[in-house]
Amino acid sequence: MAVSRRVPIRTCVACQTAFGKKGLLRVVRDPETGLAEFDPTGKRPGRGAYVCASVECVLLSVKRKAFERSLKASGCNAELSSHLASACAESADPPPPDAVS
């Protein structure tokens, strides 16, 4: 009998839709500096917030200042939104034909 693993569920700060943790992008507030930074590994320490891997949700979260509210940070820089937008573009690219099994 196969054992099913529990999939952690997180909510997007922009559209409030619940997804599996692997399908979202994580932004973390560094405990030492207090700055919000993109966490591509999803394992950095600190308070985290999640956003969908779509450009629309990233722009909406920046417009609504959702990261500042969720992370309890004083401000998120423009560099963060550019990192998230590039991560969205990378996740939207289809896999190469030889990688499909």
pLDDT of residue 100: 43
Residue pair 77/40 in contact by the 8 Å Cβ criterion: no
The reply to whether 101 falls in a domain is: no
Amino acid at 88: C
The reply to whether 97 falls in a domain is: no
The reply to whether 35 falls in a domain is: yes
Predicted confidence (pLDDT) per residue in 22-43, tens digit: 989 999 998 888 888 999 999 9
93 vs 15: CA distance, rounded Å: 22
* 65: Cβ contacts below 8 Å, ≥ 6 apart: 76
State how many domains the chain has. Answer: 1
The reply to whether 99 falls in a domain is: no
Q: Can you give the CATH number for the domain in which 71 is found?
A: 3.30.1230.10
Does this model's pTM top 0.85? no
The reply to whether 98 falls in a domain is: no
pLDDT of residue 57: 92
The reply to whether 44 falls in a domain is: yes
Q: Which of the four pLDDT bands, split at 50, 70 and 90, describes residue 101?
A: very low
Instruction: Specify the range with the lowest mean pLDDT, choosing from 16-20, 46-50, 90-94.
Output: 90-94
Q: For residue 15, what are the domain limits?
A: 9-92
Predicted confidence (pLDDT) per residue in 54-86, tens digit: 999 999 998 899 999 999 887 677 788 888 888
- CA atoms within 13 A of residue 58's CA, in its CB half-sphere: 20
Q: Which of the four pLDDT bands, split at 50, 70 and 90, describes residue 94?
A: low
Cα 38 to chain centroid distance, Å, stands at: 7
The reply to whether 1 falls in a domain is: no
